[in-house]
Amino acid sequence: MSNKFIMSKKLIPRFSRKESQEFFKTLNSRVNKYFKDHKIPKTGNWRLYSKTLVMFSLLIAPYILILSLNINDWFKLFLSIITGIGMAGVGMNVMHDGNHGSFSKHQWINKLMGGSIYILAGNVFNWKVQHNLLHHTYTNIHGHDSDLDAGRILRFSKHSKWMPHHRFQHLYSVFLYGLLTINWAIFADFFQLRNFHKRKLSYANSKGHKTQWVGLIISKIIYFFIWIILPIFVFNILWWKVILGFIVMHYTAGLILSLVFQLAHVIGEADMPLPDQKTGNLKNSWVVHQLKTTVNFSTKNRIVNWFTGGLNHQIEHHIFPHISHIHYTKISEIVKKTACEFNLPYNEYKTTRSAIFSHFKFLKQMGMRPVFLTP
C-alpha cells in the first residue's frame, strides 16, 4: 500500500500481520511477470488514450451543439443525457486512472487527467482523501470507509443505525443515486473539505488549507459559469431550460456512477468487518481483506469492460490500484487462479443485471428492522 497519505492516529484499524503474506507475494510476482513477459507498462496505452478522446467527445460535443445550433428542445434534452453519459465515462475511465497515477508514466499527465474531476463538479483533494485513502485502505469498514456513509437516508451496513424509513430504501434509493454528482457540485465538497481538515486528513504534497479553500471556491465559480451562466447570459437560452438540462445531465451521470460503485461493495457477497473495539485489530491482512470486501461483475462483457473503466473488475483494482484498468481483464485470470490456489474467495457476478438484483436485495435486507430492536 502507498505511504503517501497522512491521517490522524485515531482512525487506524490494524490489518493482521499474522496472516501469511505468501498469497500476495505469489500474486504480485505473477502479475509483474505478466508485464515483463509482454514488455508492456502497467500504465495506459493507445487503447486508453483513444477511449479518453471518445469520452471527452461525448461530454463536450453535445454541449457545443446545444449552445450553437437552433434545435428542438427535446433533442437538446437528449443531448443532455448524452453529456451525462460522457461525464460518467470521463469519471470512470480518465479521472479515476489519473488520480491513481495509472493513466500515464508521466505524472504531469496523471495530474492533468485526474483534474478532469473538476468537470464532474468534484474536487481532487476530497477525492484522493475519500477514495484513495479511506475507501481503498479501509474498504467496507464501517466508520472508516466513507463510501458506506449515506447519512440517515440510506443504510448500507448492518453496523449503521436503523431507522423506520429504511424499510423502503430498496424502492427509493435508485432515485437518490442520480443526485450523486449534483450533490458534489453544490454541497458535498464544502462539507467534505471542512470535515477532512477537522480530522487532519491529507496526503503528501497536498496544499495548505487556505489554498484548498480558495481553489475549491474558484473551481465552483468557473464550473457554474460554464454550465449555467454562459448558456443563459451569453447564448440567451431560457434559464429554466438550462437548469433542466443541467439536472438531467447530472442525474444521468450520478445514476450511472452510483450503480457502478455500489455493485462492487454494497452487495451480499461483500464482507463488512469491524475491527476489535479494544485493539483495533482486524482478522485479515490488507490484501485478503480486499478479496473479501470486493465483488466483480460482468467481466466478460466487452461493452461493460470498455465503458466502466474496469470498475467492474474491482478486485483487481483494489489490489493493484496503480495498474491501469485496461489491463484488468488479462490480470484477472491471474488473480482468480491464485486466489483459488490459496483457497481464498473471488466473488463475481456473471452479469450486470444479476449484480443489480443482488444489490437491491441487499438494500432490502439492510432496511429490515434488526431483531435486537424492540418497538
Reply yes or no on whether the pLDDT at 375 is more than 80. no
pLDDT digits (tens, 9 = 90+) for 277-306: 889 999 999 999 999 999 999 999 999 999
Among left, alpha and beta (phi > 0; psi -120 to 50; other), residue 60 is alpha
3-state secondary structure of 82: helix
Band of pLDDT at residue 207, cut at 50, 70 and 90: confident
pLDDT at 278: 87
With pLDDT > 70 as the criterion, what percentage of the chain qualifies? 96
How many angstroms separate the CA atoms of 44 and 136, rounded? Answer: 21
pLDDT at 192: 94
DSSP for 21-44 reads: SHHHHHHHHHHHHHHHHHT--SS-
Reply yes or no on whether the pLDDT at 206 is more than 90. no
Q: Which of 4-8, 136-140, 181-185 has the lowest mean pLDDT?
A: 4-8
pLDDT digits (tens, 9 = 90+) for 221-271: 999 999 999 999 999 999 999 999 999 999 999 999 999 999 999 999 999
pLDDT at 6: 47
How many angstroms separate the CA atoms of 250 and 183, rounded? Answer: 9
How many angstroms separate the CA atoms of 20 and 366, rounded? Answer: 33
Kindly report the pTM of this predicted structure. 0.93
Q: Which residues of 53-91 are buried (b: 16+ CB within 10 A; e: fewer)?
A: eebbebbeebbeebeeeeeeeeebeebbbbbbbbbbbbb
pLDDT at 30: 98
How many angstroms separate the CA atoms of 374 and 352, rounded? Answer: 37
pLDDT at 10: 52
